[in-house]
Amino acid sequence: MKNATTILFLLLALNTAIAQKTKQAINTELLGSWTLVSVENINSDGTKNLPYDVNPKGILFFDEKGNYAIEIYKSDRPKIISGDKNKCTPEENASIVQGSNAHFGEYEIDETNKIITFKIKIASFPNWEGTIQKRSYTFLNNELKYVVINTTQGGKSVSAEVVWKKL
């Protein structure tokens, strides 16, 4: 009986070590800085559009403590004519809001189901603050691709495919 207990303990320790090594490998792959490649919205009727144009700009950070930050911008945004963001025209304000998206908070990775969970603390789209969003992802050839089903489109049936390249 003593041998069975010892073997069971060793198997449990080995399983824990393998799980930790797998978790470390995942974190190593996703940790660090990413540059935005593309954002493509897919509408319920199958049509697609580029909400941040052809060459969007953006950065994504994942740290080892479980924190993340995302910034996404249209590459070509008009300057504010007055030079003072507190004196924008309604059109300039719309351009700022519609031409960017940013949020930060904590993240978790479920490698088995290929899910990134974003626990959003603060967001440029205030409706996302305090929400938890799960995004299916793939990681291939130094690119991270995930799908956003809870977009900023006000509940419309729109999903977004976002692609990042590791820096």
| Counts for the chain of helices (H) and strands (E), in that order | 2, 9
> Is residue 63 over pLDDT 60?
yes
Cβ(164)–Cβ(153) under 8 Å? no
* Range 57-77 average pLDDT: 96
- Tokens 């603050």 appear where? 129
pLDDT for the residue numbered 155: 63
- Residue-wise pLDDT tens digits, 153-166: 766 789 999 999 99
pLDDT for the residue numbered 20: 47
Q: What is the pTM (predicted TM-score) of this model? A: 0.81
Q: How far apart are CA 105 and CA 127, in angstroms?
A: 14
Position 3 scores a pLDDT of: 59
The three-point CA angle 68-49-59 to 5° equals 20
pLDDT of residue 16: 46
Does residue 109 contact residue 27 with C-beta atoms inside 8 Å? yes
- 12 has pLDDT over 80: no
